[in-house]
Amino acid sequence: MFNINDYEYDEQNNYLEIAGEAMIFHCHHYIINLQRTILDAKYIKSDIFIVGSAAHSVYNQLNNLCNGLNIDESKQMAEDIYRTFGYGLIDLSTMSENGISLDTSSSFFSKTWKIKFGESKEPVDYYTVGFLAACYAVIYGKKLEDINAIQKSCMSCGDESNNYVIGLGQCNFKIYPQKSKTKFNNTKKVSLNWEHEEVITNAFLGAHATMIGNEEGLIPAFGVYIVRNQSDFVNRLQFEFAFAMSEVAGDYGVTLAGELLMEAGHACGFFTYGGILTSDEWNTHVKPLLKTKEDWVRGLLALVNTMGWGYHTAIEISESKAVFRNYNDFEDLSYMRMYGESSYPIHWANSGGFTGLMELIYKTNIINDGKLETEEGFKKMRSSTIGYKTNMKKGISCGDDYLEVEIWT
């Protein structure tokens, strides 16, 4: 029923929208690291905004997709987008006016948490809890604020399957107000100014339409598992975490939250970009065009400009210093949709990703041997005293025309 090819990629703004929700790709290294970072702050109650963030975005999207459909068709639509986006498999056939107790043995969050961190002491698939709450609300005409949603078992804890129970009751997740529409900044872009940019971008422009869930509802690509997120779901996690930290520790809380969130972005940049740089697709379509290390950076930027994250460009590149920009970056657009203007730059995932890219190109042997560092290698690199420093200089949500970040040794 759901076909990703029905949704056209916006080449002008490097943006993809599906049924009212901006969509972006993230790898399991980022999203799992981000979630664990948030959950590790035991002094804040984060489960309510993790579930609430998912429920809000999915409700908005599914409500649009199911407009005019009957109950069975709506259930099929929800199952289809869950699988297509790479979250796993769900069966909503037993959902009724009273809710659902659902079991599944295919979950992106539970599987990849265990891969990255080993067994968890508590269930970790908060996204699916929120997703199912939204499904119940949309399909049976309920209000999100009247729904209770929990996960009772989780494969990341060693259970055979995940179990979720959704029904009417005291709401146990955060409810958010309606958000604004996306506002793009039409400032003239400074391009990569590289002869091969258009060739590489065009070669990968249709990639988003081929990256869909397999028979397990998962998307293995570039040596990682990727998932197509509702942009406002994943970004609200960052923003709500920063807000919660500021309530605990004032301005220092925001600073600390930013450092932790940037580290999650750094892991994504290191492992996802590293996966791309060692993939067959890269070796076939991009590597033959590259002559210098700076070409590797530009080639990667030209490729990821097809992923819905805004337009990445480099103002300056060398081993000792780089200045990157992003026009219409996904983090700033999300923030402005949900909260308006910010008093400080909030592009932690982008900035961490840029830093991870610099370390890949200049601090590993990936260009020469085509191999990606292990988790242990990543940890060793991050603890090194010769790593890169990162400064977020400008952000669109702060009133600037673009995101700008400076990275240096």
For 289-323, the pLDDT digits (tens) are: 999 999 999 999 999 999 999 999 999 999 999 99
How far apart (Å, rounded) are the C-alpha atoms in residues 344 and 327?
17
Q: What residue type is assigned to position 78 of the chain?
A: A
pLDDT exceeds cutoff 90 at 343: yes
57 vs 248: CA distance, rounded Å: 27
pTM recorded for the entire structure: 0.96
What pLDDT is attached to residue 267? 87
Query: pLDDT value at position 372?
Result: 80
- Residue 380 predicted with pLDDT over 80: no
pLDDT tens digits for range 139-174: 999 999 999 999 999 999 999 999 999 999 999 999
Residue that has been written with the tokens 């429920």 in this structure: 55
Q: What pLDDT digit, counting tens, does each position of 101-125 carry?
A: 999 999 999 999 999 999 999 999 9
The pLDDT tens digits for 236-260 are: 999 999 999 999 999 999 999 999 9
pLDDT tens per residue across span 164-222? 999 999 999 999 999 999 999 999 999 999 999 999 999 888 777 889 999 999 999 98
DSSP 165-233: EEEESS--S---PPPPPP----PPP-----TTHHHHHHHHTTHHHH----TTS-EEETTEEEEEEEHHH
Q: Under a CB-based contact definition with an 8 Å cutoff, are residues 2 and 62 in contact? A: no
Helix (H) or strand (E) holding 156: none
Q: Residue range 226-231: average pLDDT?
A: 96
pLDDT surpassing 80 at residue 379: no
Find out whether 230 and 21 touch, Cβ atoms under 8 Å: yes
Q: Give yes or no for residue 234 having a pLDDT over 70.
A: yes
pLDDT for residue 385: 62
| pLDDT at position 189 | 96
DSSP H or E segment with residue 104: strand 100-104
Residue 55 to residues 38, 68, 151: CA-CA distances in angstroms?
Answer: 18, 21, 14
User: pLDDT tens, 5-57?
Assistant: 999 999 999 999 999 999 999 999 999 999 999 999 999 999 999 999 999 99
Average pLDDT taken over every residue of the chain:
95
Domains for the chain: give ranges and CATH numbers: 10-168 (3.30.1380.20), 197-216+231-408 (3.30.1380.20)
Q: Encoding tokens for residue 183?
A: 């506002």
For residues 16, 21, 25 and 26, what is the CA-based torsion angle, rounded to 10 degrees? 150
- Output DSSP code: residue 137: H
Structure confidence at residue 313 (pLDDT): 98
370 confidence band (pLDDT: 50, 70, 90): confident
pLDDT-based confidence at 384, cuts 50/70/90? low
Q: H helices then E strands: how many in the chain?
A: 14, 11
pLDDT value at residue 62: 98
Residue 43, both tokens: 């002094």
- Residue 362 has a pLDDT of 94
Q: What CA–CA distance (Å, rounded) separates 408 from 225?
A: 30
Token couple for 181: 């529409």
